[in-house]
Amino acid sequence: MLHTPATLATPDAPAHTRARPLHWLATATAMAAVIAAAGLVQPATGSPATGSPAAEEPAAKGPQAAAPDPAAATYPLDCKGAARAVTATAQGDLDGDGRPETVAAVRCDAGSGTPPHAIYVLTQDPAEGSRPRVVATLLDTPQRLTATELTVRDRTVTASLLGYSGPDVPRCCPDKKQLAKWRWSDGKFRQELTDSAARSV
C-alpha cells in the first residue's frame, strides 16, 4: 500500500543567517573599506591624486633648455694655425632668464709649455639649428694666466687663476695663484678677486 509521504515542515532558519537590510548595509560598508585599503597598498602608477604631495609640486614646463655645446662654438682666439682646446667647462643660468649658459676655458693646443687661457661665456638662441656664440670674454690670453677649477654656482663664475711672479719664471711652471669670481650685474660681468694678493702655488 502506497503511502503519501508526509509533508516535511521546513525548519526556521537560524536568526544569525537571516538576511536583513542592516546586514547587507554592514557587508557593503566592510567591502568598500577592504577595496579602499587595497588601493592604498597598490604601487603608485599614473598621475598623482589631487592633494597628494606629488600633485602639489609645480608641473614641469616641458623639457629644460640644454646648455650650449662648447665644442660647437667658434672662439675669437688666434692660435696661429694651431688647434684650440677647450680644457674646462661649467654650465648655469648666469643672467636669470631661465636658460643656461656655458662657460668655457679655452687655450691654444701648442703641444708644449702652458699656453694662457681665455674664458668665454656662451649662449644659444632658442631657434632650432642655432649655434652657440660667445657673448662675453671673462679672461683674455694677454693676461698670461691659466684657469683651473672652473665652476658656476649662484649665478657666479669662479676660477682659480695661475700666473707668474716674474718674467724669469718658466712658462711651464706658474708660481702664483688667485681666486677670481665674475658675477652678472647691471648688464655686464663684474670681476671680484677674492684672493687679491697672489700667493705661491
74-98 tens-digit pLDDT:
999 999 999 999 999 999 999 999 9
**Which residue, chain included where needed, has cell 682659480?**
160
Higher pLDDT, 180 or 13: 180
pLDDT band at 73 (very low <50, low <70, confident <90, very high): very high
Give the span between the Cα atoms of 77 and 142, in whole angstroms.
11
Q: Which of 42-46, 48-52, 197-201 is least confident?
A: 42-46
pLDDT band at 64 (very low <50, low <70, confident <90, very high): low
At residue 173, does pLDDT exceed 60? yes
At residue 143, does pLDDT exceed 70? yes
Q: Which tens digit of pLDDT belongs to each residue from 3-29? A: 334 433 444 544 444 555 544 444 444
Average pLDDT value for residue range 145-150: 94
Mean pLDDT, the chain, as a whole number? Answer: 75
As a dihedral over the C-alpha atoms of residue 143, residue 148, residue 152, residue 155, rounded to 10 degrees, the angle is: -30
Question: What is the per-residue pLDDT for 20?
Answer: 54
Judge whether 68 and 89 are in contact, CB under 8 Å: no
At residue 35, does pLDDT exceed 90? no
pLDDT band at 56 (very low <50, low <70, confident <90, very high): very low
Three-point CA angle 56, 57, 58, nearest 5°: 115
Question: What is the per-residue pLDDT for 155?
Answer: 92
At residue 118, does pLDDT exceed 90? yes
Question: What is the per-residue pLDDT for 114?
Answer: 80
pLDDT band at 43 (very low <50, low <70, confident <90, very high): very low
